[in-house]
Amino acid sequence: MSDGSPRSGAYPASMVRLVEAFVQLPGIGRRSAERLAFWVLKASPEEAEALAQAIQVVKRTVRHCDICWNLADATPCPICADPRRDGGTVLVVEQPKDVLSLEQTAMFRGVFHVLMGRIDPLSGIGPESLTINDLVARVRDPGKNAGGVPIHEVILGLNPDMEGDSTALIVAERLALDKVRVTRLARGLPSGSQIEFANRAALADAIALRQDL
Ligand SMILES: [Zn+2]
């Protein structure tokens, strides 16, 4: 077959099904999918069961934090629930992976807000697809914020590219009438680079040297 899929009969149907499932994973081509399927085949029943269970448990327990939309086993998430964090300073990011990168700098003692994407008209993602309304609600009602404290600063930590910039602009516009300082991460990050992949020192500088918008 031209797409490289196994000829029918080359594998048992159950193996074909497993390979097809692995092909759905990001970054996994057919050859890698076949390697993974053969790993499962050779694994002990306990190893295979542990993998299947880990997938099921993640699907059952991981959810979005009701306050910040970060991924967690419970809501509020450990960051929002931590009384040592400054609930008055909120760092707005595109995706949960960005929270992970920024937490690794150990530079930021505030809390987060995950937009769950960025505005991308070509893909049909407008402001209403993101969690901007929830952020505005947090700013206007301390009861909806971590620790129940009023927010005094919103730091925009969007990726420094066209979609990130236009998303930052729209968030800032939505908060223009609120009594909250709106800043953005310093332009230390090279244009087009992603927070997810930036090194710790660059991220730490970007937080420390943040600028008013
Ligand atoms: Zn949270």
Give me the mean pLDDT over the 190-210 stretch.
Answer: 79
* pLDDT for residue 175: 96
**Cα 115 to averaged position of ligand 1 atoms, centre (Å):** 12
**Cα 164 to averaged position of ligand 1 atoms, centre (Å):** 22
**Cα 83 to averaged position of ligand 1 atoms, centre (Å):** 12
**Cα 68 to averaged position of ligand 1 atoms, centre (Å):** 4
Cβ atoms of 199 and 190 closer than 8 Å: no
**Cα 26 to averaged position of ligand 1 atoms, centre (Å):** 26
* pLDDT for residue 160: 85
Q: How far is CA 41 from the centre of its chain?
A: 33
For the segment 12-69, what is each residue's pLDDT rounded down to a tens digit? 999 999 999 999 999 999 999 999 999 999 999 999 999 999 999 999 999 999 999 9
Q: Give yes or no for residue 121 having a pLDDT over 60.
A: yes
Q: How confident is the model at residue 172 (pLDDT cuts 50, 70, 90)?
A: very high
**Cα 22 to averaged position of ligand 1 atoms, centre (Å):** 31
Cβ atoms of 128 and 67 closer than 8 Å: no
Topology of domain 71-212, CATH: Dna Topoisomerase Vi A Subunit; Chain: A, domain 2 (3.40.1360)
User: Is 71-212 the same fold as 13-61?
Assistant: no
**Every domain of the chain and the residues it spans:** 13-61, 71-212
Compute the distance between CA of residue 142 and CA of residue 37 in angstroms, rounded to an integer: 50
**Cα 23 to averaged position of ligand 1 atoms, centre (Å):** 32
**Residue that the structure tokens 């769950």 belong to:** 116
Q: How far is CA 95 from CA 24, 83, 88, 113, in A?
A: 21, 23, 20, 9
Compute the distance between CA of residue 65 and CA of residue 61 in angstroms, rounded to an integer: 12
**Cα 81 to averaged position of ligand 1 atoms, centre (Å):** 7
The matching CATH number, chosen from 3.20.20.370, 3.40.50.12280, 1.20.1280.50, 1.10.8.420, for 13-61 is 1.10.8.420
Alpha helices by DSSP H, the chain? 13-23, 30-42, 45-61, 78-81, 96-104, 132-140, 162-174, 200-208
* Cβ neighbours for 79, distance < 8 A, ≥ 6 positions apart: 65, 68, 70, 85, 99, 103, 111, 112, 146
Q: How confident is the model at residue 122 (pLDDT cuts 50, 70, 90)?
A: confident
